[in-house]
Amino acid sequence: MGIFFEDINYAADGGLYAELIQNRDFEYSESDNHREKWNAKTSWTLEGSGTDWSIVTDNPLHANNIHSSLLKTDKVGARLVNGGFDGIAVKKGEKYDLSLFFLSKTVQKVRISLREGDKTLASTVVSLKSGAQWKQYGAVLVPSASAEKAVLAIEPMQTGELQLDFVSLFPQKTFKNRKNGMRADLAQTLADMKPRFVRFPGGCASHGNGIENIYHWKHTVGKPWERKGDFNIWNYHQSRGLGFYEYFQFCEDIGAEPLPVLSAGVPCQNSSRAGRDGKNDGQQGGLSMDEMKDYLQELLDLIEWANGDAKKSKLAAMRAEVGHPKPFNLKYLGIGNEDLISDVFVERYNYLCREIRKAHPEITVVGTVGPFWEGSDYEEGWKIAKQEKLDIVDEHYYNQPGWYFNNQNFYDKYDRNGTKVYLGEWASKGNKLENALVEALHLTNVERNADVVVMSSYAPLLAKEGHTQWNPDLIYFNNTEVKPTVNYYVQALFGQNSGDEYIPGDVEVMFKTDRSNRVSRSDVMKRIGTSVVRDSKTGDVFIKLVNCLPEDVNLTVDLNDIIKVETIKSGKNKTVGASSYYLDADYTVLTGNIAEGNQKPTSGTAKVHSESDDFSLEYTMPKYSFTVIKLKHTDVNKKGTKVK
């Protein structure tokens, strides 16, 4: 179980990335959002009179950051104001790191403040050094009151000309207190899922809208003001402040494997923008094969940057310079994202997969088989996977709940010895309990087929309220709240209660209203799901039970294949024999009205029944419910037996 992060629905800037200033580098353009005609002044306003404000490209801060603001002040009193992403949310007494660049020959003092209406929440005066070179200045702002719609104001305190760029404001309390880090509450919500891997930086955002928009990882590392922003296929701006270094660091912080997924040398087949030849790049466009040599090297460089020895490799030294001398230990690399399996794609895709595996046989290459669970892309993608003997391919599908009821054997028919499956994007098209339950049902089938389906992640992951471009999503949020869906709790419960050994077993179902009526009807059993897994490291066993029926169901779980008790034979100085025994069974249940989606799990404790060393657990599954029962491996001593 893992998570898939894509910069959609303002998931990065204004979301997981903790930066509070929007368009901090004045690099927004109409390419980002042509409908609203964005430009370098977007999200900034000039309040008051006496100052002229313009965007200039003279003396750029960096080649990747060519625009800056020029303020010409004839009369003091005006201020340049940024409203953040739907306002700047700050908390009373907490510390916020301010950073910005100035270039000035005349203005010596600038007042910078956090304001809400006419109220000043925090303020500092920055003393500037005159000169012809950019200089970075910083301060710590501590608001005197909390606010949800604060703004940052920059006010020249003398007449003259002042050039400024890259205005940044970060809470010091980021996730793990990382500089240039992630919003703490959102990141913790992801960490709580206990993901084993993180796929990033996107699906469609990876291969982009046209050739010029293909995602290049090197544009996202280095100092934040040196990174190269770009428009997003979802019609907003990517500052790339949340870049590959931050993704890898986050994976390390939560104990997850990084899974970067990058373009196969072709853009998204749904591209709407023309390429270098003036034609649409989508359906059949791609980098030329001459260009593919350089692009291959870019991907090989990623592996070197992530895994290389900082003392021997220039690329690895780049990683060390920003704070990570040890290798990241990258094991997986995804090539392509639900692409149209055209001749142009196949030529470039095969070239990359073959060359990467040849150069780095230790890297597991994850391929693609299109956007659906059937059809020509799926069939051709799987044909290539088998021909090339790829390690894993990435399957995607978004289906109605009925599909999941009727396809519980979907992975039963897969080749047990061939290419493995990463179920990288999937959902049941809704955020009601009904959707969450069929997703839980599907995951019991995925666990049963874990020798085939080795990885799984729901998509999309994040969505900011007021900026949602795709529904459903797993976690909704605004500037002050994180709102996990009922679907989130299903994913989290599977992630928190996972094992490495599947224990098969038969299920007997009895309705609560008639305990003598054992049910075997196929239409009823389609709505009952079970999965039992063991964690070999701890010995704990997890029983997952799904009831999609409108009635409580009595379930008896035979535990004799799980619990073994042996009589101990004692001698004077020796004890022979050991056995495992489970006493309490902790359970977590998710249930309620299937037409609603506000449910949260509740917990309790059940007892394991033992009679003459015959062990079973009886549990009544509430109607419309998902339950996880944890049998914790415990050391116990009983008369006549020793239990390990």
Segment holding 184, helix H or strand E: helix 184-191
Structure tokens at 230: 């770009």
Rg of the chain in Å (alpha carbons): 28
What distance in Å separates the CA atoms of residue 24 and residue 83, rounded to the nearest whole number?
11
What is d(CA 341, CA 30) in angstroms, rounded to the nearest whole number?
32
The domain covering 501-643 belongs, at the CATH homologous superfamily level, to Golgi alpha-mannosidase II (2.60.40.1180)
Distance between CA atoms of residues 420 and 449, nearest Å: 11
Give the CATH fold of the 44-171 domain.
Answer: Jelly Rolls (2.60.120)
Q: What is the DSSP letter of 217?
A: G
Question: Do the strands 197-200 and 3-4 form a parallel or antiparallel pair, or are they unpaired?
Answer: parallel
Give the integer Cα–Cα distance in Å for 559 and 582.
Answer: 10
> How far is 68 from 54, CA to CA, in rounded Å?
9
**Per-residue pLDDT at 35:** 87
Which regions of the chain are under pLDDT 50? 567-568, 570-580, 638-644
| Range 3-13+182-496 has CATH code 3.20.20.80 | yes
Q: Give CA–CA dist 289/304, Å, rounded.
A: 23
Domain residue spans of the chain = 3-13+182-496, 44-171, 501-643
Q: Which helix (H) or strand (E) holds 406?
A: helix 401-406
338 given a catalytic annotation: yes
Residues across the chain: 644
How far is CA 463 from each of CA 9, 114, 448, rounded to the nearest angstrom?
5, 27, 31
pLDDT for res 634: 67
Q: Token pair for residue 395?
A: 């399957």
* The pLDDT value given to residue 274: 60
Q: How many CB atoms lie within 10 A of CB 476?
A: 20
**Catalytic option among 155, 338, 395, 434:** 338
Enumerate the H helices of 468-603 as residue ranges.
Answer: 486-496, 522-525
| Rounded-to-integer distance, Cα 612 and Cα 622, Å | 30
The string of pLDDT tens digits covering residues 329-351 is 999 999 999 999 999 999 999 99
Are 409 and 376 in contact by the 8 Å Cβ rule? The answer is no
What are φ and ψ of residue 205, in 5° steps? -65, -20
pTM: 0.93
Q: Say what the pLDDT of residue 513 is.
A: 54
pLDDT tens per residue, range 75-122 = 999 999 999 999 999 999 999 999 999 999 888 999 999 999 999 999
